[in-house]
Amino acid sequence: MKYLPILLIFISCQNTFLNKEEYYEVCPYELKYGRSHYLEVPITITPHQKTYSVGDTMNVKMFFSDSIYDLSRQTNFKIENFPFEPANQLYRIEEDAWQSGYRLNELIVDEERYNTRYNFQSRVSDDMRGFTVYENGFYHFEYNLVFNTPGNYIIMTSDQYEFLIGTGLGELNEETNAIEFEGRCPDSNFYICSVIEGDPHYNDFIDELLYLENEVYRGKLTSIDRENYDEFFGSGGVAIEWNGVFCFEVVD
């Protein structure tokens, strides 16, 4: 899961190797969130809709150039061969219970191309993880879902980099943290922000999101849109907007 410190922690945990004046001399960007590079990974859902029918196919795709947008600095950086490792989950939430959606529907992915692995889990939904393919200046990862079971669903997409941080194993990101690119700021690691393109339907599935928050993630969900969602979520570490959360229903 993508673990997002609250804004207070962003401020208090600024890197201490350079003071503020020294830092801005070598990295002259206004920071919206913090000193880390907040790399935006756009996710496209096709067809993008709130309601699907049993038998429909959904395509979930990451396809973006190596000119990657930094959400904190609000500018693009050219980053080649970054080891993005998306971690994908599907929850079915019905009648105060959840199920792993991959067990109820058909998941289709090119396992060889994306070097995927499937993890059976019980505390949270099963996940499917793999690696983006970097070709001709673009990153690519995609899979299809064929719906067999009606219900309300939530897709979540994070990155292995964030999962390691959230589980206290951030030292395993050492190789990724060593990646260099023009404009990289000193003393700055990364946040991988998986962002749904278009309406993620949060307002229509707020009950399901709150169930996920209270019964699965136990207070860890949060929102960067405090104005609209502050009454629903606290200051947890998993930002729904940056964990590729997409809500929808499947009907007969």
Q: Which of 37, 25, 20, 77 is nearest to 191 (CA)?
A: 37
| pLDDT score recorded for residue 83 | 95
User: Angle at Cα 45 formed by Cα 44 and Cα 50, nearest 5°?
Assistant: 140
**Of 24-33, 61-70, 89-98, which gets the smallest average pLDDT?**
24-33
Q: In the predicted model, what is the mean pLDDT of the chain?
A: 90
Encoded tokens for 34 = 């913090």
| pLDDT score recorded for residue 143 | 98
| pLDDT score recorded for residue 144 | 98
pLDDT of 111 > 70? The answer is: yes
Query: Which residues on neighbouring strands pair with residue 41, listed in sequence order?
Result: 194
pTM of the entire predicted model: 0.90
**Of 20-34, 68-82, 105-119, which gets the smallest average pLDDT?**
20-34
Share of the chain above pLDDT 70, in %: 93
Range 82-92 average pLDDT: 97
Range 54-82 average pLDDT: 98
- Domain extents in the chain: 7-251
Note the pLDDT tens digit of each residue in 26-44.
Answer: 899 999 998 999 999 999 9
Range 184-200 average pLDDT: 94
What Cα–Cα distance (Å) separates residue 64 from each residue in 40, 168, 219?
A: 10, 29, 32
Q: Which residues touch 125 (CB under 8 Å, ≥6 apart)? A: 89, 90, 91, 98, 100, 101, 102, 156
pLDDT of 3 > 70? The answer is: no
Note the pLDDT tens digit of each residue in 150-161.
Answer: 999 999 999 999
Question: In the structure, what pLDDT confidence band is assigned to residue 17 with cuts at 50, 70 and 90?
Answer: low
Note the pLDDT tens digit of each residue in 220-237.
Answer: 999 999 888 888 888 778
- 151: alpha, beta or left, given left = phi > 0 and alpha = psi -120 to 50? left
Number of Cβ within 10 Å of residue 59's Cβ equals 14
